[in-house]
Homo-oligomer: A and B are copies of this chain.
Amino acid sequence: MTTPDSPLSPPSIGVDVGGTKIATGVLIGDELHARHVQPTPETGWEAVLDAVAAQVQALRAQHPQVTRVGVGVPGPLAEGRTRVKFAPNIYGFTDVPLVQGLEDRLGLRVVLENDAKAAALAEAHLGAARGTASSVYVTVSTGIGSGIVLGGRVWRGHHGIAGELGHVTVMPGGPVSGAGLDGALEAVASGTAIARDASYALNREVSTAEAFALAQSGHPAAGRVVSQALRHIGVALADLQKFLDPEVFVIGGGVAKVGDFFFAGIQAAADEYAGPFAPVTLRRAQLGTDAGVIGAALAARLEGL
């Protein structure tokens, strides 16, 4: 693995473009410097690129030696990771030629990365999976996604879809996902699925957080909703352990903030279905909201190495 403080670790700028804010920073060795957050413009993608470019130039005024720029975006990429197909949470972000647009504005090489893969990279190099040769970062929030890091690099797969953990089939005949498949993991175990199922079971609007709170306080129906969801996640991770055998799983995302109760539920099912093969090692994500910026910066750092 390329370690971040080796001579092969040039400093780089990371940009995490989200639906409400743009976070930026400079990654020097293992440290993120000059963290900065600004609102995401809501007047179209060109305005977003303008804002990103202005902030990158401001950072370069302080760190002129930094020539690498990485950008993370919450959506699927296309054309050799030069375009964003769409980012549903960012206003006007459909079919955006992001790399070309920023390189024109900056005169620098720009590297684009999906935000979950960026977070996976950040946790693998500088977070909960630091020092491992293989890790899978799993984010459980409104959906379920993952990023696979092997030998320090993101594993993308042949069609670039590797990591679509939310869409593996865990209960044939079960709820149908946005992708039209029945029984997909995120359709039965994401935060949205938990809120949906708890709302149905309790016959009133129940948020994911409330579902967990009720489950922890012993509410039978909410408890069953939550335990089924965690069980499905745990069985899925045990399956990945047996198939890919990563060193660790790093679990992040909004739902993971529930903490011990959440992790214990997943671990129990994972242990049960790991069987005699190998233990499933779960770790909590460490980098929090910085993961996106750090991961984007790492993507830029690793490009071409």
Contacts and interface: CB of A to CB of B under 8 A. Distances in A.
Nearest to A278: B159
Contact of A173 (B167, B171, B198, B277): B171
A64 interface: no
A122 interface: no
A238 interface: yes
Contacts of A193: 200
A77 to B, nearest CB: 14
A168 interface: yes
B173 A172 contact: yes
How large, as a class, is the contact surface on chain A?
35 or more
Contacts of A182: 224, 228
A5 interface: no
Contact of A180 (B163, B172, B201): B201
Q: Report which residue of A177, A181, A201 has the largest number of chain B beta carbons within 10 angstroms of its beta carbon.
A: A181
B228 A161 contact: no
A275 B167 CA distance: 9
Contact of A242 (B164, B176, B239): B164
A158 B281 CA distance: 11
Contacts of A179: 221, 275-277
Interface of A: 132-134, 146, 148, 150, 155-165, 167-169, 171-182, 187, 192-193, 196-198, 200-203, 220-221, 224-225, 228, 231-232, 235, 238-247, 273, 275-278
Across the A-B interface, the 4 shortest Cβ-Cβ residue pairs: A157-B245, A159-B278, A158-B247, A162-B245
Given A158-B247, A159-B245, A175-B175, 16 more contacts: A132-B158, A146-B243, A150-B155, A157-B246, A159-B277, A159-B278, A162-B243, A162-B244, A164-B242, A164-B245, A169-B239, A173-B228, A177-B200, A179-B277, A180-B275, A187-B201
